[in-house]
Amino acid sequence: MIAAGRNEVSVWDIVSLQCVEVFAVKAGDEKTTGVMLEAYKALEAPRDTDILIHSFTNHESKFEENSIRAVASPFDCKFMITGGQDRKIRFWDTSRVENSGVVLGLDMDEAKPRHSTNTFDTIKFHFEFTQSNKNIILVTETTYPLIISADRDGVIKVVS
């Protein structure tokens, strides 16, 4: 298991050097997953001198702000627990990803994430989709009906 990239853990078959599964957090909906399969291909091992020169590239530094820092996956268990810089602890059910969820760190106004599994090429991707609550619409009953909408910018709109 490798915690790399933006809030994701990849599982590799070390004998064949193939990525077999990815557990990732995505913002938005399932239509915007944007999977780049090239990112899950094994690279040639660097020479000893290259390790020190290129140990932290500019490409990797942009992932630093929202990455997983801890992974716990006990041997012979069907779950994984991750913790990262987004200050959320996630329980991943590795056999039924729809049973996964955020255990700690979900804000009160934050919607519960959805989970789904998709297969691209030969890699199984397990996604957690976070929904943004930018446009919450409420209907109230007074002497006349109103539609009230609000967003995180603090703008409240009332339409009668």
Tens-place pLDDT, residues 10-32 = 999 999 999 999 999 987 665 55
Q: Of the ranges 50-54, 71-75, 128-132, which is most confident?
A: 71-75
30 contacts 127 by C-beta, under 8 angstroms:
yes
Residue 73 confidence (pLDDT): 92
Tokens linked to 20: 């077999």
Residue extents of the structural domains in the chain = 2-133
Helix, strand and coil content of the chain, in percent to the nearest 5, comes to: 15, 40, 45
The pTM of the full predicted model, rounded to 2 decimals, is 0.70
